[in-house]
Amino acid sequence: MTDQVARKRRRGRGATTTAILDAALQLFSAQGYAAVTVRDIAERAGVSHALVHQYVGTKDDILRAVLTRDEGLLASAAPDSPDLLESAARILRRGLEQPGRAHLRLLMRSALDGTSYDRTSGRFEALERLIGLAQSAAASAPAGERAEKDLDPRLVVAFAGILYLGWASGESWMRPAAGLEDLDDAEIIDGLERVILGILRDHVAGAALRPRGAVSKRSSRDEPVR
C-alpha cells in the first residue's frame, strides 16, 4: 500500500466515501459508466480497490450512491417553495453550478450510453418535486385553462428536463456551433431559464398563477457560472 493510500484511510470513513463518490462522478461523467472500472475509481480517489468495495460496494452501488447524493443537491435548491416556476428556476441554476453540472452530464451520458435505468437510484427527487408542483398547479387551475393546456404535466416537465440536460451536456459544442461566443455565462443562463420557464408557463395549466403563500426569494441575477 502506498503512503497516499495509508493517509487517505486515516481520514475516516465519511471523508473517504466522499472522495470515492467524487472520483466516480468525475470518471463516469467524462468516460461513461461502461468504460470505468472500480479500480479506476479507487486509483482516482487514492484508496485501495478493496476499500471501495467495503465502503460503497459494486460499480452499480457506486453509481446509485453518486446519483442519490447529487440529486439531493438539486432538490435542496427549492425545498419549500410551492411555486412551480420559482422552484424550476432555482433548481436550474443550482444544477449549472459545480458539482451539479457534472451530475447533469452524468445523467445524460448514462442515458446516451445505454446504461440501464435499473442501475440508477430509481428516484430523481428534483424531477419528482417539479412534477408534483406541476400537477398541483394544473389541478387548481380554472377549467377553461385546463381545457386549453391539456398536456399531461408530467410530459411537459419531462420535455423541459431533457432540454435542460441536453444544454448542460452539450453547451461546449453548441455555443461555438451557434455562434454564441459573444455571450457571457450570465446571458446564456438567463436565456436558458427564460426558455424553460416559458415551456412550463405556456403548457402547464395554472403555472403562471402564484400559489397562496408563495414568496419569491430571488433577488438580482446570480453571478455567472464559470
Beta strands in 54-172 (DSSP E): none
pTM for the whole structure: 0.79
Q: What is the pLDDT of residue 110?
A: 87
The set of cell numbers assigned to 133 is 408542483
Measure the CA–CA gap between 128 and 130, rounded to whole angstroms: 6
Q: What are phi and psi of 174, to 5 degrees?
A: -70, -35
What is the per-residue pLDDT across 120-166, written as a single tens digit (0 to 9) for each? 877 888 999 999 999 999 999 999 999 999 999 999 999 999 999 99
AA letter at 70: D
Q: What pLDDT score does 148 carry?
A: 96
How far apart (Å, rounded) are the C-alpha atoms in residues 149 and 145?
A: 6
CA–CA dist 106, 162 (Å, integer): 13
- CA gap 60, 67 in Å, rounded: 11
**pLDDT of res. 101:** 87
Number of alpha helices (DSSP H) and beta strands (DSSP E) in the chain:
11, 0
Which triple of cell numbers denotes residue 180? 454564441
| Residue 151, Ramachandran bin (φ over 0: left; ψ between -120 and 50: alpha; else beta) | beta
Give me the residues of the chain with pLDDT under 70, please.
1-11, 210-226
